[in-house]
Copies of this chain bind each other. A is one copy, B any other.
Amino acid sequence: MESILNLMKCRRGVRQFADRAVPEKVLSKILEAAIYAPSGVGGAHILVVDDQELRKKIRSICEIGERQWVDSQPLSVRERIVAQPNFSYSLEFLETAPALLIVSTRPRDPERPYAVECAFLAVGYMLVMIEGLGLGTITYTPSVTDEKQSKILEELLGLPEGEKIQVILPVGYPESKPKHDTGKAQYSVFHNRFGEPFTLAT
């Protein structure tokens, strides 16, 4: 299973895509990965957007939201966000990726506890498949807080009432693969009690 671990280790966020369509057969494998992820009593919808005009409109609405969201963050968070490798307010990748995979769920639906959590678990599955297929993506979480823009986006996509877009994965063949390291220092591992370090045997 070294190969899967290597895939995970080599994955980098991709924001630049080659001008090359992703065959439906390949896209289907990514979607199958999501479908087979454990969903408990959750449930999510995935929208595949390959229409170019639609991607352009989605980009435009998300860029407005992105700037508003970053500006609304506490200073310390904002600093960390903009310090991320390749950070940009431009969401060009939403337009240039040949396909967007939009994951939506109804948050806080008493009928579907853990729907959001399961959606992100399925995103994990999709990321592994995307990397395994030689494709690239970046996990983009849109934050369209402006009510008018939000309404436009919902109508554009026919988003089911009460649902919220959790993630957009722009998928395509990487134009270039960023060489920077992933932010792997974010997880600490402990042993039998928080605070007691667990040493990885690698």
Contact = CB atoms under 8 A, between A and B. Distances in A.
A90 interface: no
A1 to B, nearest CB: 4
Interface string A97-114: 000000010000011111
A38 B194 CA distance: 22
Interface in A38-80: 38-51, 54, 73-74, 76-77, 80
Interface of A is mostly: mixed
- Number of identical protomers: 2
A154 to B, nearest CB: 9
A84 B121 CA distance: 19
A61 to B, nearest CB: 15
Interface string A76-95: 11001100100000000000
B157 A122 contact: no
Which has the most chain B C-beta neighbours within 10 Å: A4, A7, A73? A4
Given A8-B33, A36-B9, A39-B183, A193 B128 contact: no
Contacts of A50: 191-192
Interface stretch (A21-29, A144-152, A170-178): A21-29
Interface string A167-202: 000000000000000111011111111111010111
A177 to B, nearest CB: 15
A-B interface, 8 closest residue pairs, ranked by CB to CB distance from nearest: A124-B124, A39-B186, A1-B132, A120-B120, A158-B194, A121-B124, A28-B200, A43-B186
Given A9-B36, A47-B194, A118-B186, 18 more contacts: A4-B132, A5-B36, A11-B38, A31-B189, A39-B186, A40-B139, A46-B189, A48-B189, A51-B192, A117-B141, A121-B123, A121-B127, A124-B124, A124-B125, A124-B128, A125-B128, A157-B194, A160-B194
